[in-house]
Amino acid sequence: MSSGIAIRTHNLTRRFGTLVAVDRVNLTVPRAHIYGFLGPNGSGKSTTIRMLCGLLKPSAGEAEVLGLNIPREAEVLKRKIGYMTQRFSLYEDLSIIENLEFIAEVYSLSRTRRHERIAQQLELFDLKDRIKQRAGTLSGGQKQRLALAAATLHEPELLFLDEPTSAVDPQSRRDFWEFLFQLANHGTTILVSTHYMDEAERCHALAILDRGSMVADGTPKALEANIDAHVIEIERADLHAARQLLLQVPRVLSVTQLGVRLRVLVDHAVDDATGFIKDALRASQPGVDVQLVRASLEDVFVAATQLRNRERAA
């Protein structure tokens, strides 16, 4: 494996009986990057992460993580990675300092190194003023900071985050991402799963998963520029009536209302998307304002999954 690559997989697959939870996923994640997994619940994000951590054996395919073959060298990998789940997994009846001391023992940090790293983490994650407080009494944001402090206490080369911000407020999410960028700037590779579009946009690159398959990957800007659909916005219309009509039109992939406008995704095979939509509405709403607009990451996600689902149905 190239020294510049943290994770590489080839046709990584996991089956549970007849259910294919992860279907031939091919990843290349550079070191010191924040790489996102974007997808709904059940899309295969957590299962993929568990395979990459060595916690779950693949049914087929190959994975190399930090130059190690997984799952064969999973025990060696465990010392090099951190793992944080969406559910708070530390001991709620222990204090902040007791939890960190326990994690330091798990990773066999020397006494000198242990004191040094715990002090650094308490400072970095703004926890030093409440070290004797029991973890179970912390707020959601404080629990999140403690969990990240614990997951990075041993300075892992690679950090896996499985929907880590699902239970915290928007400000705590913003603060959490500032911590992640600090870690990446110091060389840590981070793989984070999320279903929040604003978080996905913060990643250096990401993969979109749907029903176990990777349906798109790249930088957020590249994905938006290369969306396989036209994005149309409609104003000055009876939005409810227009939406109901357009949902019946072939080659319209999705229609959603955003305040006083409709946002419509049209199959990329349509040459003149604005004319196509105007024609569809002309009989019932001749005076509507229809314009082609720039794609968002949410548009990319919807287009990628809708097109794939239509192909499967066909």
Q: Where are the domains positioned within the chain?
A: 5-219, 228-294
CB 192 within 8 A of CB 164: yes
Which has more pLDDT, 301 or 168?
A: 301
CB 106 within 8 A of CB 89: no
Whether the domain at 5-219 and the domain at 228-294 fall into the same CATH topology: no
Question: Residue 2: which pLDDT band, with cuts at 50, 70 and 90?
Answer: very low
Per-residue pLDDT, 224: 96
Grouping H, G, I as helix, E, B as strand and the rest as coil, residue 97 is helix
Per-residue pLDDT, 1: 43
- pLDDT exceeds cutoff 90 at 312: no
Task: Read off the tokens for 209.
Answer: 């998963």
- pLDDT exceeds cutoff 90 at 166: no
Mean pLDDT across 104-129: 94
Q: CB under 8 Å to 70, separation ≥6 — which residues?
A: 51, 52, 54, 63, 64, 77
Per-residue pLDDT, 310: 61
Task: Read off the tokens for 68.
Answer: 């190690």
Mean pLDDT across 273-288: 93
- pLDDT exceeds cutoff 50 at 94: yes
C-alpha atoms less than 13 angstroms from C-alpha of 173 in its C-beta half-sphere: 16
Mean pLDDT across 90-95: 94
Per-residue pLDDT, 173: 87
Which has more pLDDT, 157 or 141?
A: 157
Give, rounded to a whole angstrom, the gap between the first and last alpha carbons of the chain. 39
Kindly provide the residue ranges of all beta strands, DSSP E only, lying in 39-165, ordered along the sequence.
60-65, 68-70, 81-84, 158-162
User: Is CATH 3.40.50.300 the right assignment for the domain spanning 228-294?
Assistant: no
Query: Averaging pLDDT over each range in 88-92, 144-148, 157-161, which range is the top one?
Result: 157-161
Which has more pLDDT, 154 or 163?
A: 154
User: Can you name the CATH fold of 5-219?
Assistant: Rossmann fold (3.40.50)
- pLDDT exceeds cutoff 80 at 307: no
Mean pLDDT across 22-27: 97
- pLDDT exceeds cutoff 90 at 260: yes
Per-residue pLDDT, 3: 67
Question: Residue 121: which pLDDT band, with cuts at 50, 70 and 90?
Answer: very high
Question: Residue 178: which pLDDT band, with cuts at 50, 70 and 90?
Answer: very high
- pLDDT exceeds cutoff 60 at 314: no
To which H or E segment does residue 5 belong? Answer: strand 5-16
Task: Read off the tokens for 293.
Answer: 């607009």
Q: CB under 8 Å to 276, separation ≥6 — which residues?
A: 251, 266, 270
- pLDDT exceeds cutoff 80 at 313: no
What is the chain's mean pLDDT, rounded? Answer: 92
Mean pLDDT across 79-83: 95
